[in-house]
Amino acid sequence: MISDTLLLFDLDNTLVYSEKIDSKCFGATFKERYGQPFPTIDWTYFSHVTDHTIFREAYFEIKKEYPTSNEIEEFKLEFVKKINLARQENPKDFNIIPGASDLFAYLRKEEIPFAVATGGWEAPARVKLKHVGLWQSDLIISGADNQYSRNELINEAIQRCQKRNFNWNKIIYVGDAIWDVKTCREMELPLLGIKRVGDHQELLKHGVSHVITNYADINEFFEKIRAVQVPE
């Protein structure tokens, strides 16, 4: 049965495609604000792949001190303005993963508990979800606001679901990146990988048991959800 399972979804390249434009907006905001180039948009460069940690460590490299909470909030506001503008100027560059809207509608109809647990901050996450039509006021989002690691933000998502009185016996994460594999292995969570055509092998070789391309075939999604395992 899937009704006793809590599904947690990553966001970027799991629910929406952004073609690294959001990452470039992050770097551009940093350069404009501090006058120095962002170290890299290869997120594996940082100790944890969350916006909170990425920003703190990049800021430390140039300032030799960590940012205050006010500094983080001001940066976040400028970043959100940039990604909003990017979507207004080139809306077709930002697309929903095929089938995601129908999947979310089905999960709601069948009362299957689910939430979004993303390494990004919550404010830009809402921008992305609204842009592709996935945002609804009842959607639980756990972002990296004050969360250093992906383990922490997943635990935060679980706590928010508990407060909503969701019931489950099993938790499955749906994600696309190597850091999702690492996190699920550490937390002993089954992971359903999602990658575009031709990219499946990247996750499979890192121990992911099942990978899908998108959600267009909802039967395939649930078939693989029932079979997924903790990454080896």
| pLDDT tens column, 129-155 | 999 999 999 999 999 998 899 999 999
Average pLDDT of the residues of the chain: 94
Q: What angle in degrees, to the nearest 10, is found between the helix axes of 51-63 and 69-89?
A: 110
Q: What is the mean pLDDT of residues 70-75?
A: 97
Q: 159-167 long-range CB contacts below 8 Å, 24 or more apart?
A: 160/115, 161/6, 161/113, 161/115, 164/113, 164/140, 166/6, 166/113, 167/4, 167/113
Q: What is the chain's alpha carbon radius of gyration, rounded to the nearest angstrom? A: 17
Q: What is the pLDDT of residue 120?
A: 94
Q: What is the mean pLDDT of residues 215-224?
A: 96
Which amino acid would we find at residue 66? Y
What whole-number distance in Å separates Cα of residue 232 and Cα of residue 182? 10
Nearest to 188 by CA among 158, 230, 151, 137: 230
Q: What is the mean pLDDT of residues 11-37?
A: 93
Confidence of residue 1 (pLDDT cuts 50, 70, 90): low
Checking if the pLDDT of 40 tops 80, the result is yes
CB–CB of 144/53 below 8 Å? Answer: yes
Q: What is the mean pLDDT of residues 107-125?
A: 95
Where in 88-231 does DSSP place strands (E)?
A: 95-96, 114-117, 141-142, 170-175, 191-194, 210-212
Other CB atoms within a 10 A radius of the CB of residue 110 amount to 9
The reply to whether the predicted model has a pTM over 0.75 is: yes
Q: What is the mean pLDDT of residues 212-223?
A: 96
